[in-house]
């Protein structure tokens, strides 16, 4: 009887440890290939060269164009999702009748259940032509359209998590403010939002992390040209797009070209790793503070 209990516990522990092995394996393979990569390409070139042409005859290994692409699409998506998502969160938490909130919140969450490939199609075939009517100089592939669509995809993440954070602010604080004659608007912006600040910050950081790692929308609609630019109207290439693009063609294993993928992957991983950790600790702090 006792023995069985111990075996069960050990089995459960082993299952839990698989998550640790997963992390170790991710870091291990990225590190392994990246170290090889940097034995052939200098770190200096990787981070300062503004050209990325590892698959061409004249090879350049500057990651900056890819990072610029990722930065551009991420910023555009945040410009859409953060103001819109926060406003929605405030409306649902502070203004909307309970019924409305209970209906709208799950409907918005449908947006996050839609596979990203669908958003890619939407960006390429609907949003880009629409935007070209407004900006005639815009190319068929560009950062603006996938950026906006990515913002829509992230919207429920921001609005739901922020709404949860606002909702967790005690009612008594709102009552104190309203009882002094403050309007709902004043109460929301002067009392509720500051009290829920770290919860809202978590939602924004997770949104950044999602946008940085998003692949299919940009791979479909942003183009395949690594350009060191912040122009939202021209084709660009993000870090994630590069990885997918290489595998869509044929590539020989264990060459410098092959290892570029892991160097780019490592850059992505480090970035999202930092963001995820910040959001995790902010979340812990928010939970203990309320």
Partner 1 sequence: MSQKIEVKNANVYYGMEHALINVSMNIKANTVTALIGPSGCGKSTFLRLFNRMNDLIENCRVEGQILVDGQDIYNPKVNVNELRKSIGMVFQKPNPFPKSIYENVAYGLKVNGIKDKRLIEEKVEQSLKQAALWDEVKDKLKKSALALSGGQQQRLCIARALAVSPSVLLMDEPASALDPISTMKIEELIFNLKSSYTILIVTHNMQQATRTSDKTAFFYMGELVEYDDTRTLFTNPKFERTQNYITGRFG
Partner 2 sequence: MITLKNRPSDKTRFYQWQDKVFKYFALCCTLIGLFVLALLLYNILSVGLHRLDWNFLNSTSSQRASNAGIKSAMVGTVYIALYTSLFALPIGISAAIYLEEYAGKNKFTNFLEVNIANLAGVPSVIYGLLGLEVFSRIMMLKNSILTGSLTLALLILPIIIVSTREALKSVPYSLREASYALGASKWQTIWHQVLPASSGGIFTGIILALSRAIGETAPLIVIGAVVFIKTVPNSIMDKFTVLPIQIFHWISQPQKAFAANAAAGIIVLLLITFLLNGIAVYLRYRWQKKIKW
Residues that bind partner 1 (CB under 8 A): 97-98, 170, 172-173, 175-183, 186, 190-191, 194-195
Residue number with CB closer to partner 2 (16 or 288): 16
Q: Does 11 bind partner 2 (CB under 8 A)?
A: yes
Kindly identify the residues of this chain, within the stretch 137-196, that bind partner 2 according to CB under 8 A.
152, 155-156, 159, 181-186
Bridge-partner residues for 61, per DSSP? 52
> Judged by CB under 8 A, which stretch of 40-48, 49-57, 192-200, 214-222 contacts partner 2?
214-222
Q: Which of 271, 247, 273 is CA-nearest to residue 261?
A: 247
Q: State the binding partner of 4 from partner 2, partner 1, none, CB within 5 to 8 A by kind.
A: partner 2
Q: Are 53 and 59 in contact (CB under 8 A)?
A: yes
Q: How far is the CB of 226 from partner 2 (least distance, A)?
A: 16
Q: State the binding partner of 233 from partner 2, partner 1, none, CB within 5 to 8 A by kind.
A: none
Looking from the CA of 240 toward its CB, the CA atoms found within 13 Å total 21
Q: How far is the CB of 175 from partner 1 (least distance, A)?
A: 7
Residue 276 Cα distances to 198, 212, 217, 227, angstroms = 14, 12, 22, 28
Q: State the binding partner of 108 from partner 1, partner 2, none, CB within 5 to 8 A by kind.
A: partner 2
Can you read off the two tokens belonging to residue 89?
A: 């969160």
Q: How far is the CB of 200 from partner 1 (least distance, A)?
A: 14
Q: Is 256 exposed, middle or buried (0-12, 13-18, 19+ CB in 10 A)?
A: middle
Residue number with CB closer to partner 2 (22 or 255): 22
Contacts of 111 (CB under 8 A, 6+ apart): 152, 153, 155, 156
270-275's contacts with Cβ under 8 Å and 24+ in sequence apart are 271/212, 272/209, 272/212, 272/213, 275/205, 275/206, 275/208, 275/209, 275/212
Q: State the binding partner of 230 from partner 2, partner 1, none, CB within 5 to 8 A by kind.
A: none
For the chain, the residue count is 290
Q: State the binding partner of 176 from partner 2, partner 1, none, CB within 5 to 8 A by kind.
A: partner 1
Q: How far is the CB of 176 from partner 1 (least distance, A)?
A: 5
Q: State the binding partner of 273 from partner 2, partner 1, none, CB within 5 to 8 A by kind.
A: partner 2
In the shown chain, the binding pattern of residues 28 to 47 toward partner 2, with x for contact by CB under 8 A and - for none, equals -xx--x--------------
């Amino acid at each position: 009887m006792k023995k069985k209990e111990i075996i069960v516990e050990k089995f459960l522990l082993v299952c839990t440890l698989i998550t640790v092995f997963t992390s170790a394996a991710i870091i291990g393979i990225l590190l392994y290939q990246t170290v090889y990569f940097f034995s052939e390409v200098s770190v200096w070139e990787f981070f300062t060269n503004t050209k990325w042409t590892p698959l061409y005859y004249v090879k350049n290994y500057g990651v900056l164009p890819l990072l610029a692409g990722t930065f551009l699409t991420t910023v555009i998506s945040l410009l859409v999702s953060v103001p819109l998502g926060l406003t929605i969160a405030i409306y649902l938490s502070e203004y909307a009748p309970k019924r409305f909130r209970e209906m709208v919140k799950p409907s918005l969450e449908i947006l996050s259940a839609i596979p990203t490939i669908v958003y890619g199609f939407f960006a390429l075939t609907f949003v880009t032509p629409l935007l070209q009517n407004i900006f005639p100089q815009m190319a068929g592939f560009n950062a603006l359209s996938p950026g906006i669509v990515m913002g829509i995809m992230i919207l429920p993440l921001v609005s739901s998590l922020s709404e949860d954070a606002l909702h967790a602010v005690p009612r008594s604080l709102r009552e104190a403010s309203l009882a002094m004659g403050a309007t709902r608007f004043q109460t929301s912006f002067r009392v509720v939002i500051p009290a829920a600040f770290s919860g809202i910050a978590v939602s924004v950081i997770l949104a950044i992390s999602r946008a940085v790692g998003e692949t299919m929308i940009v791979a479909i609609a942003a183009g395949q040209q690594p350009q060191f630019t912040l122009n939202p109207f021209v084709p660009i290439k993000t870090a994630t797009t590069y990885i997918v693009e290489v595998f869509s063609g044929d590539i020989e294993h264990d060459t410098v070209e092959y290892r570029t993928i892991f160097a780019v992957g490592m850059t992505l991983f480090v970035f999202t790793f930092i963001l995820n950790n910040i959001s995790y600790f902010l979340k812990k702090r928010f939970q203990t503070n309320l």
